[in-house]
C-alpha cells in the first residue's frame, strides 16, 4: 500500500528533542527509514542545550505549538477561529468540556487550544495522529483528531500509564484506533482500564548498529585496591522514581574495605538534594555527578564501568519506570546489571541469569548484591555476556519498528475525495 504524497502522520510529543527520550528519537528515525512521511508536533520547546547525534539524523519537519496560549495570543485566536469552522469542532469542544468538568484546570483548557493550533496549521495534510505518552500529548491528539475527522493512536510508556486518572485513560484508549505499550506490565494495566480497546505490547528494543557489541574483557576489579576502585555507574534523571536516594544509603553501608567509585549521569529536579545527601553520608569524594550527557558519552561510560545500578521504585503517587531503555543500553555493552523488581524490569532482566534483581527500596538487599558481584569478577562477566546475548536475540528494535510502521501505514492513506472517479 502506498501513501499519498501529501499525507502526513503527525507524531505528537510533549517536548522535542529531549536527552532522556532517546527511545522516541530511535523510533522516529526508524519510521522515517521505513518510508513513512512524518511531521513532528511538540507541545514544548527543548529545555536542554545539548542534543543527541540521532536528532540530527531525523529529517521530519517540526511544528512547535504554543506552550502557553497567552504567550502567543494572536496565533491561538487565529487557530481557534479556523478550527471552529471544521465539521468536527462541536464534538471536540464537547469532549474537552466534559473533560474540563472532571479536571477544571488551565492545563486542560490549554490542551484544547493546542489541539486547535495543530488542526489549523496541519489540517491540510495530517491524515493520522500518533501521540507519545497518554497524558497531555494524548489529549491534544484526541481533540485534534476529532477536529480533523481523522484517527489517532497512542503510545504508553511509564508515568503516563500509572499516574493519569483512569477516566481520562479510558476515554482515550476507547477512542483511539489502537494503542501500543512498551512493556507487558503497562499493556496489562491499560487493558484492565479499557477492556475492549486495541492494546498490544511493542518493545522499543535497541538498535544494534547504534549500540555495537563490546567484546573487550573488563579488568577483574574487586574493589580490594584503593587505587583501583570498583567502577559503578547509574544513569537516569534525578527524580523520585529512580530511587537514587536509596542507592546512596546502600553505598554508605558498604564495608570500608570495599573501594568503589560511582558515576551518575543525568539531570533532574532532585540532583542538588542528592548531592547534599551524599555529602551528609560522607560520599562526596567517591561520586562523580556528571549531569545530562549525550548518548555517545553514556556509551563510553558503560564500557568503562564494572557494574550498572538501576534502583527504580514506585512513588507515593504511583509513578514508576516502565522498561528503562538505559538498562538495554547497559546490557548491549555486556555490562552486568543490578536492578529492582519494579514494573517491566523483570521482563528484561532475568534474576541470576542475565543480571541480579533485588526488591525496591531494600537497602540491605542492594548492599549485599553489590558486595556479592564486587568480589566475583567471573560472575560479572558471565551475567554481562548472558544479558547481551538475550538482548540481541529478543530485544532488537527492528521487530517493534516493523510492527509500528505497518500499523501507521494502514492509517495514513489520504482519503479519496467523495467526487473522485475510480481509476
pLDDT of residue 20: 84
> pLDDT confidence of 413, banded at 50, 70, 90?
low
> What mean pLDDT do residues 323-352 have?
96
Q: For 115-159, what is each residue's pLDDT tens digit?
A: 999 999 998 789 999 999 999 999 999 999 999 999 999 999 999
Is 422 a residue whose pLDDT tops 70?
Answer: no
Is 416 a residue whose pLDDT tops 50?
Answer: no
> What mean pLDDT do residues 309-336 have?
96
Q: How far is residue 328's CA from residue 195's CA, in Å, rounded to a whole number?
A: 30
pLDDT of residue 49: 83
Tell which CATH classification among 3.30.70.580, 3.40.50.2000, 3.30.450.20, 1.10.260.40 matches the domain 8-205+397-411: 3.40.50.2000
**What order of strands is seen across the sheet that includes strand 307-310?**
287-291, 260-265, 230-235, 307-310, 337-340, 356-358
Domain boundaries, the chain: 8-205+397-411, 230-394
Instruction: Read off the C-alpha cell for 7.
Output: 499525507
Q: For 360-394, what is each residue's pLDDT tens digit?
A: 999 999 999 999 999 999 999 999 999 999 999 99
> pLDDT confidence of 7, banded at 50, 70, 90?
low
Q: For 68-119, what is each residue's pLDDT tens digit?
A: 999 999 999 999 999 999 999 999 999 999 999 999 999 999 999 999 999 9
pLDDT of residue 123: 83
What is the crossing angle of helices 166-175 and 89-102, to 10°? 160
Query: What count of other Cβ atoms lies within 10 Å of the Cβ of residue 165?
Result: 12
| Residue among 123, 186, 107 at smallest CA distance from 154 | 186
Average pLDDT, the chain: 93
- Surface-to-core class of residue 67, CB atoms within 10 Å of its CB (0-12 exposed, 13-18 middle, 19+ buried): middle
Q: For 217-227, what is each residue's pLDDT tens digit?
A: 999 999 999 99
Is 415 a residue whose pLDDT tops 60?
Answer: no
Tell which CATH classification among 3.40.50.720, 3.40.50.280, 3.40.50.620, 3.40.50.2000 matches the domain 230-394: 3.40.50.2000
Instruction: Read off the C-alpha cell for 162.
Output: 500509572
Query: What count of other Cβ atoms lies within 10 Å of the Cβ of residue 422?
Result: 4
> What mean pLDDT do residues 402-423 have?
65
φ, ψ at 84 (rounded to 5°) = -65, -15
Give the C-alpha distances (Å, rounded to integers) separating 131 from 28, 178, 180, 200: 12, 11, 10, 15
H/E stretch holding 41 reads strand 38-42
Q: How far is residue 250's CA from residue 247's CA, in Å, rounded to a whole number?
A: 5
Is 418 a residue whose pLDDT tops 60?
Answer: no
Q: Do domains 8-205+397-411 and 230-394 have the same CATH topology?
A: yes
Is 5 a residue whose pLDDT tops 50?
Answer: no
Inter-residue contact 374 to 259 (CB < 8 Å): no
Q: How far is residue 245's CA from residue 275's CA, in Å, rounded to a whole number?
A: 10
Give the C-alpha distances (Å, rounded to integers) separating 395 from 122, 158, 325: 35, 18, 11
Amino acid at each position: 500500500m502506498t501513501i499519498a504524497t501529501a499525507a502526513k502522520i503527525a507524531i505528537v510529543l510533549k517536548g522535542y528533542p529531549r536527552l532522556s527520550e532517546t527511545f522516541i528519537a530511535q523510533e522516529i528515525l526508524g519510521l522515517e527509514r521505513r518510508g513513512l512521511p512524518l511531521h513532528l508536533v511538540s507541545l514544548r520547546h527543548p529545555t536542554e542545550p545539548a542534543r543527541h547525534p540521532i536528532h540530527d539524523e531525523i529529517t521530519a519537519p517540526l511544528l512547535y505549538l504554543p506552550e502557553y496560549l497567552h504567550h502567543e495570543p494572536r496565533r491561538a485566536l487565529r487557530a481557534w477561529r479556523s478550527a471552529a469552522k471544521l465539521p468536527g469542532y462541536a464534538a471536540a469542544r464537547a469532549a474537552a468540556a466534559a473533560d474540563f468538568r472532571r479536571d477544571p484546570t488551565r492545563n486542560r483548557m490549554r490542551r484544547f487550544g493546542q489541539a486547535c493550533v495543530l488542526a489549523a496549521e496541519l489540517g491540510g495534510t495530517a491524515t493520522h495522529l500518533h501521540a507519545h505518552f497518554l497524558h497531555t500529548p494524548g489529549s491534544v491528539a484526541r481533540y485534534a483528531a476529532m477536529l480533523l475527522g481523522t484517527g489517532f493512536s497512542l503510545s504508553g510508556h511509564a508515568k503516563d500509564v500509572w499516574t493519569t486518572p483512569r477516566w481520562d485513560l479510558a476515554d482515550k484508549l476507547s477512542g483511539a484506533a489502537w494503542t501500543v505499550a512498551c512493556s507487558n506490565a503497562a499493556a496489562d494495566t491499560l487493558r484492565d482500564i479499557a477492556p475492549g480497546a486495541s492494546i498490544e505490547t511493542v518493545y522499543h528494543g535497541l538498535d544494534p548498529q547504534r549500540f555495537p557489541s563490546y567484546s573487550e574483557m573488563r579488568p577483574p576489579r574487586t574493589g580490594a585496591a584503593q587505587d583501583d576502585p570498583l567502577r559503578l555507574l547509574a544513569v537516569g534523571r534525578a527524580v523520585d522514581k529512580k530511587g537514587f536516594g536509596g542507592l546512596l544509603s546502600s553505598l554508605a553501608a558498604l564495608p570500608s574495605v570495599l573501594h568503589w567509585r560511582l558515576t551518575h549521569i543525568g539531570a533532574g529536579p532532585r540532583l542538588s538534594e542528592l548531592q547534599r545527601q551524599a555529602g551528609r553520608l560522607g560520599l562526596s569524594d567517591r561520586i562523580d555527578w556528571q549531569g545530562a550527557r549525550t548518548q555517545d558519552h553514556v556509551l563510553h561510560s558503560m564500557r568503562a564501568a564494572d557494574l550498572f545500578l538501576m534502583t527504580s521504585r514506585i512513588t507515593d503517587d504511583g509513578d514508576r519506570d516502565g522498561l528503562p531503555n538505559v538498562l538495554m543500553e547497559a546490557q548491549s555493552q555486556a555490562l552486568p546489571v543490578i536492578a529492582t523488581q519494579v514494573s517491566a524490569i523483570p521482563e528484561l532482566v532475568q534474576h541470576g541469569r542475565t543480571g541480579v534483581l533485588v526488591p525496591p527500596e531494600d537497602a540491605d538487599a542492594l548492599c549485599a548484591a553489590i558486595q556479592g558481584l564486587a568480589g566475583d569478577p567471573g560472575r560479572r562477566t558471565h551475567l554481562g555476556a548472558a544479558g547481551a546475548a538475550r538482548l540481541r536475540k529478543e530485544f532488537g528494535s527492528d521487530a517493534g519498528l516493523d510492527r509500528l510502521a505497518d500499523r501507521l501505514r494502514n492509517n495514513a492513506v489520504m482519503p479519496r475525495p467523495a467526487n473522485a472517479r475510480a481509476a
